[in-house]
Amino acid sequence: MWFRLRSRPLRTALRWQLVATAAFALIFGIFAGLHGAISAVLGGLISVCAGAAFAALGSLAEGKSAGFALVTMLRAESVKIGLMVVLLWLVLAAYAKAVVLALIASFLVTALIFSMAALIREE
């Protein structure tokens, strides 16, 4: 990575997203086969990539004024949502054998995990 993620809540959320992605890949791999596992991994990685982009852009506001930080965080959230939409479209358009249930379930759970970063203490 070209940036160092100093925020403990974001690091923890990204780590839990990867754990959840692996769990979904295992579960859907067992029940839906190889394409189910791949779809679950892709769904999870969409959230992980979008979360990493959010963290990278959000880290630019560190040590700046409150107004600059707010604008930067809103911009980071916009990039995160846009990246999620584009990556979902790209995966669904390019991967013909995608197991949509695995892809969407993994994506939604990992996106919810990232939103819980606000509940993690910075300590």
Cβ distance 46 to 88 under 8 Å?
yes
Q: How many residues does the chain have?
A: 123
Q: What is the pLDDT of residue 1?
A: 43
Residue 66, classed as helix, strand or coil, is helix
Spatial separation of the C-alpha atoms in residues 92 and 113, rounded to whole Å = 22
Q: Is residue 29 part of a domain?
A: yes
How many domains is the chain partitioned into structurally? Answer: 1
Q: Which domain holds residue 82?
A: 8-116
Count CB-CB contacts under 10 A for residue 7.
16
Q: Is residue 54 part of a domain?
A: yes
For the chain, list residues with pLDDT below 50: 1-2
Q: What is the pLDDT of residue 79?
A: 94
Report which of 9, 27, 20 is spatially closest to residue 48, judged by C-alpha positions.
20
Structure tokens at 17: 């997203």
Identify residue 111 by its one-letter amino acid code.
A
Q: What is the pLDDT of residue 12?
A: 86
Whole-model pTM: value is 0.87
Q: Is residue 48 part of a domain?
A: yes
Q: What is the pLDDT of residue 114?
A: 87
